[in-house]
A and B are shown apart, each in its own frame.
Chain A
């Protein structure tokens, strides 16, 4: 068994898991954070994207043991004091979801994307950057609009705070 110590959404957590336990299963089953989804099991769909030490990664392709000592942010950790994160607001305003299954990964990827592009985004960049996230409702158009809007609204100053 592996000891797993993480800071998840600002809270220190300790647990034990089999060495082969994937981070996504540790988050969902040990911590009850079921907002992070498992979509494909083949490391392609991005529904499981979380931030590990500030970077978007597929939590289905990382062992919980590999994340030992890391800071993890999941979709549950984005809203602050009951206020949705600007990217969540934009997804709601632009109806950037249909069935919603891919949404946690889309939102986490988008937050990371906006952070990495403080100069702003255009449609082609957003589409290229969403290469690792699949929406099987094929609702990409509104997702792209939501990311562009969130990027604009967050501006350069707000990007750093995200």
Chain B
């Protein structure tokens, strides 16, 4: 790892101030992507600004059907939250299947969405749940927050402070994990509220997380796994790599979507 300067931020303002003063700073939350990347010398930020101890950024608040998850809340805290598990079991299931237990003890929801890895799990939930990303400067819908591969709408000194969403009537998340990295080769989050069906896909898109229009259209007409039998997911714009071809991923997206729908339709 190259040399760096560590600062433990005391407030969102303090973090932004330090970021603006840094030559090439990076915000640090759980560090489960950033530290390994730095160890491999694929990143060499001059400054690390630790957000984990800023008061008010941690914890889960549920008011009626509205859920607010603080940005530095760990995956293990989300996955074991009893009240949230009753209201939206899909998101606690998702959080409980990110990486391994040690990663879940450090990794945070804010870090995951700010990094916007094209195979990360949380971005699907945010997109399918029509969640709001609350930052130090504004609130914006997930559809505007995720811009592309590892790219978000965040300004350099802007910090994700919380994720908010209204619990759907029903939802499920299914992923086909790479057995070594546990990242999704394809992961599909299906959310249903009234007649509104939203399907978000991770692990497969060349530009990161996306909504699967053709699956949403079929499921809006008939919310049943069999309704997807005749739907073809296009391989255009899907990733091909050593783990899976675009065609294989296209098929996996459909299979994962069917499993999610089958779980919801019960």
Contacts and interface: CB of A to CB of B under 8 A. Distances in A.
Interface of A: 2, 18-20, 22, 41-44, 46, 49, 55-58, 60-63, 65-66, 68, 109, 112-113, 116, 129, 131-133
Contacts of A129: 101
B216 to A, nearest CB: 32
A41 B180 CA distance: 15
Most buried by B among A44, A68, A113: A44
A43 B35 contact: yes
Contact of B102 (A22, A56, A68): A56
B8 interface: yes
A66 B3 contact: no
Contacts of A113: 101
Contacts of A19: 3-6, 48
B99 interface: yes
Contacts of A68: 8
Contacts of A66: 6, 28, 31, 50, 52
A131 B182 contact: yes
A20 B102 contact: no
A-B pairs, top 3 by smallest CB distance, nearest first, are A132-B100, A19-B6, A131-B100
Interface in B101-154: 101-103, 105-106
A57 B1 contact: no
23 contacts: A18-B3, A19-B3, A19-B5, A20-B2, A20-B3, A20-B4, A20-B38, A41-B39, A49-B102, A55-B105, A56-B101, A56-B102, A56-B105, A61-B31, A65-B6, A109-B101, A112-B101, A113-B101, A116-B80, A116-B101, A129-B101, A131-B101, A132-B102
A62 B52 CA distance: 12
A155 B102 CA distance: 23
Interface string B52-69: 100000000000000000
Interface in B163-192: 180, 182
Interface string B74-105: 00100010000000000000000001111101
Contacts of A22: 1, 35, 39
B100 A62 contact: no
Interface of B: 1-6, 8, 28, 31-32, 35-36, 38-40, 48, 50, 52, 76, 80, 99-103, 105-106, 180, 182
A127 to B, nearest CB: 12
A2 B5 CA distance: 9
A131 B8 CA distance: 31
A62 B101 contact: no
A10 to B, nearest CB: 21
A65 B120 CA distance: 27
Q: Which of B1, B6, B102 has the most CB of A within 10 A?
A: B102
Contacts of B103: 58, 132
B5 A58 contact: no
A65 B31 CA distance: 13
Contacts of B106: 57-58, 61-62
A57 B105 CA distance: 6
A2 B6 CA distance: 8
A132 B4 contact: no
B6 A109 contact: no
A56 B2 CA distance: 26
A129 B1 CA distance: 29
Contacts of B180: 44
Contact of A62 (B35, B76, B182): B35
A48 to B, nearest CB: 9
Contacts of A60: 39
B1 A20 contact: yes
B179 to A, nearest CB: 10
